[in-house]
Chains A and B, each alone.
Chain A
Amino acid sequence: MHCQTGSWGSYMPTSRNTVGDPLERIERLASENAVVIFSISSCCMCHAIKRLFCGMGVNPTVYELDEDPRGKDMEKALMRLLGTSPAVPVVFIGGKLVGAMDRVMASHINGTLVPLLKEAGALWL
């Protein structure tokens, strides 16, 4: 499994559901793939988190909120969800919220990230 430096995973078209609770949409999108990252294309910390997963051999699904018509609403919803700003990057693994960069790194250091990834099927040893 290699990481492409160009496009980040698959880009999901959002034409299906134009009306709806942004948070609902987030949760729906998060459950569709093993590793889902909500990001902003110009954000450097988002770049760092993407490189972290790629370095581990994981191929995450990335949603660039600045390229989504409803991105602004989703960003606000994420901010409410996390309780802190900035809203991105935020990672979902196996449909469950892991958190922002600090939580992801802490879980990687304390050794809980890799089992989680394996459990979600994103990583095979």
Chain B
Amino acid sequence: MANHRVGETGLTDSGPSNHHRHIPYAALHGMNVPTSFIHQEGSAFDFGELEEAIVLQGLKIRNDEAKAPLFTPSRPAATLEMFPSWPMRFQQTPRGISRSGGESTDSGSAVNTLSSKTEHQIEPESPNSKKASSSDHQAFDQKPLQHQQHLQQQQQHQQQQPEMASDSSRTGTSQNQSPGKPPQEKRRGSTSEKQLDAKTLRRLAQNREAARKSRLRKKAYVQQLESSRIKLTQLEQDLQRARSQGLFLGGCAGAVGNISSGAAIFDMEYSRWLEDDQRHMSELRSGIHAHLCDSDLRIIVDSYISHYDEIFQLKAMAAKSDVFHLITGMWTTPAERCFLWMGGFRPSELIKMLISQLDPLTEQQVMGICSLQHSSQQAEEALTQGLEQLQQSLIDTVAGGPVVDGMQQMAVALGKLANLEGFVRQADNLRHQTLHQLPRILTVRQAARCFIVIGEYYGRLRTLSSLWASRPRETLISDDHSCQTTTDLQMVQASQNHFSNF
């Protein structure tokens, strides 16, 4: 009814012609519709509460009919109330209903009293009468139309009187905000705040609050989903990285995308080799601590050397199938990759590290180790320069001459690229020879310690890599760097078992 327009929505009495898609029938027919409902989309329509509304409306109507029957008993108004723009919680029933008894019972005021007496939180469910129509409720579709006509008739017949009656009823229930009775036409379009009593205002405010909270909840949920999605992709990346580094033992043959079968096989073999390495290392350690005689210790040292022979054989095979996997160091961990030279460790760097760790050495041994370092450096330099020439030649081929012949160019480039395998093989050969030369310079006991040092050194680099990879990501976002330090420290303390007791 006109007298109960909700001015905030800016609705006119044009009814269905207004452009809000989700205007419920209640709003269309001038019911009290909180703003929030108009703008909400697609929330569930609670039919349970609809039924409750029907029942209670029936109750209310019976009460009203006893007082001032202005409506026909067919009660299409009841159906209109069933498309609540608010799910009504009728916990206070008879008292509330009877309070409105004094009012005129045109549909507008009836609705108004119903809603005004509900003082509880009203959930902002969008009635969306158009959307909510289903076969079960088709009956309702027709009745509101009837009711619309009915209303319009009523509006014409009962222009002033219902308004006055509702005004008077309102004075009975709450403070009257507008003493005057402006003409209906004016009231229709303008903000009729005078028409809204405190209870209505409160209800509207509650509805708005509920709608706002619901929006906030939805926003929080969406944000949570987004951050979970980001975490998931990061976890997947970490997993892929860890797999390609062989940290997952034996579980990744060709399973990870973008890795060739040769590379996958090598990664698997390498992870198995790392397990063997641990075993050999513990044998060496126990051999030293048990003070085995030299000949027994020599057996253990020799078996460790052949353990290294194994990895170089594996690398030679891998170089044939996928030299780039070796050269890019994707078979190692990131920290090891930092120091990568031609698909592996740099022998002269390793020897430099060993010199400081292998004290005490005789003068002859020191000379031997230094000369080994020196020759290794010369060989490394020679190989590096050879590789540089290969790179330059490749650049010239790929860049092409004045006449670019695509296929020919590619064929030549492919031929040159094949030379990479030779360089990686020679570099591995250098590493292999260096490791063989060490026990020739050192005593058996020194050699055992030397291999333990080497094994532990690379083990620590691998641990460093995994700690780095698993460091908490939140520290990247937060600007509290003290938090990061604490977390890293905790992580390090938690991984003490990675460090041997040598």
- Binding partners A and B: yes
Q: Which residues of A pack against B, CB within 8 Å?
A: 42, 44-45, 47-49, 51-52, 55-56, 101-102, 105-106, 108-111, 113
Q: Are B385 and A110 in contact (CB under 8 A)?
A: no
Q: Are A44 and B386 in contact (CB under 8 A)?
A: yes
Q: Are A55 and B381 in contact (CB under 8 A)?
A: yes
Q: Are A56 and B426 in contact (CB under 8 A)?
A: no
Q: With the chains together, A106 CA to B390 CA distance in Å?
A: 22
Q: Are B375 and A48 in contact (CB under 8 A)?
A: no
Given contacts A44-B387, A47-B386, contact A52 B419 (CB under 8 A): no
Q: Are A111 and B375 in contact (CB under 8 A)?
A: yes
Given contacts A102-B429, A105-B379, A105-B430, contact A110 B386 (CB under 8 A): no
Q: With the chains together, A52 CA to B375 CA distance in Å?
A: 10
Q: Are A105 and B433 in contact (CB under 8 A)?
A: yes
Q: Are B386 and A108 in contact (CB under 8 A)?
A: no
Chain B contacts of A110 at CB under 8 A?
Answer: 433, 436-437, 440
B371, B382, B387, B423, most chain A CB atoms within 10 A? B382
Chain A contacts of B371 at CB under 8 A?
Answer: 111
Q: What are the 5 A-B residue pairs with the smallest beta carbon separation, nearest first?
A: A48-B386, A52-B382, A44-B390, A109-B433, A51-B382
Q: Are A102 and B426 in contact (CB under 8 A)?
A: yes
Considering only residues 395-448 of chain B, those with a C-beta below 8 Å from chain A are 419, 422-423, 425-426, 429-430, 433-434, 436-437, 440
> Distance in Å from the Cβ of B185 to the closest Cβ of chain A?
96
User: Is B286 on the interface with A (CB-CB < 8 A)?
Assistant: no
Q: With the chains together, A45 CA to B387 CA distance in Å?
A: 8
Q: With the chains together, A51 CA to B419 CA distance in Å?
A: 17
Q: With the chains together, A52 CA to B386 CA distance in Å?
A: 10
Q: Are B423 and A109 in contact (CB under 8 A)?
A: no
Q: Are A109 and B379 in contact (CB under 8 A)?
A: yes
Considering only residues 361-393 of chain B, those with a C-beta below 8 Å from chain A are 371-372, 375-376, 378-379, 381-383, 385-387, 389-390, 393
Chain B contacts of A42 at CB under 8 A?
Answer: 393
Q: Are B433 and A106 in contact (CB under 8 A)?
A: yes
> Distance in Å from the Cβ of A60 to the closest Cβ of chain B?
12
Name which residue of chain A comes closest to B368, CB basis: A111
Complex interface bits, B305-348 against A, C-beta within 8 A gives 1, otherwise 0 = 00000000000000000000000000000000000000000000
> Distance in Å from the Cβ of A108 to the closest Cβ of chain B?
5
Q: With the chains together, A48 CA to B501 CA distance in Å?
A: 43
Q: With the chains together, A47 CA to B390 CA distance in Å?
A: 9
> Distance in Å from the Cβ of A123 to the closest Cβ of chain B?
13
Q: With the chains together, A103 CA to B88 CA distance in Å?
A: 93
Chain A contacts of B382 at CB under 8 A?
Answer: 48-49, 51-52, 55
Chain A contacts of B385 at CB under 8 A?
Answer: 47-48, 51
Q: Which residues of B pack against A, CB within 8 Å?
A: 371-372, 375-376, 378-379, 381-383, 385-387, 389-390, 393, 419, 422-423, 425-426, 429-430, 433-434, 436-437, 440
Chain A contacts of B390 at CB under 8 A?
Answer: 44
Additional 11 contacts, C-beta under 8 A, given A105-B426, A113-B375: A44-B393, A47-B385, A48-B385, A48-B386, A52-B381, A52-B382, A55-B381, A55-B382, A108-B375, A109-B372, A109-B375
The count of A-to-B residue pairs whose CB atoms sit within 8 angstroms is: 70
Chain B contacts of A108 at CB under 8 A?
Answer: 375, 378-379
Q: Are A106 and B393 in contact (CB under 8 A)?
A: no
Name which residue of chain A comes closest to B372, CB basis: A109
Q: Are A45 and B433 in contact (CB under 8 A)?
A: no
Chain B contacts of A45 at CB under 8 A?
Answer: 386, 419, 422-423, 426
Name which residue of chain A comes closest to B426, CB basis: A101
Name which residue of chain B comes closest to A114, CB basis: B375
Name which residue of chain A comes closest to B436, CB basis: A110
Q: With the chains together, A100 CA to B379 CA distance in Å?
A: 14
> Distance in Å from the Cβ of B383 to the closest Cβ of chain A?
5
Q: Are B437 and A109 in contact (CB under 8 A)?
A: yes
Chain A contacts of B375 at CB under 8 A?
Answer: 108-109, 111, 113
26 contacts between A and B (CB under 8 A): A44-B389, A44-B390, A44-B393, A45-B426, A47-B389, A48-B383, A48-B385, A48-B389, A48-B426, A49-B382, A49-B386, A51-B381, A51-B382, A52-B378, A55-B378, A55-B382, A56-B378, A101-B422, A102-B425, A105-B429, A105-B433, A108-B375, A108-B379, A109-B372, A109-B379, A111-B371
Chain B contacts of A111 at CB under 8 A?
Answer: 371-372, 375, 437
Q: With the chains together, A113 CA to B437 CA distance in Å?
A: 14
Q: With the chains together, A81 CA to B253 CA distance in Å?
A: 40
Chain A contacts of B376 at CB under 8 A?
Answer: 109
Chain B contacts of A48 at CB under 8 A?
Answer: 382-383, 385-387, 389, 423, 426
Chain B contacts of A49 at CB under 8 A?
Answer: 382, 386
Q: With the chains together, A63 CA to B393 CA distance in Å?
A: 21
A45, A106, A111, A113, most chain B CB atoms within 10 A? A45
Q: With the chains together, A106 CA to B393 CA distance in Å?
A: 27
Given contacts A44-B419, A109-B434, A110-B433, contact A51 B426 (CB under 8 A): no
Q: Are A106 and B423 in contact (CB under 8 A)?
A: no
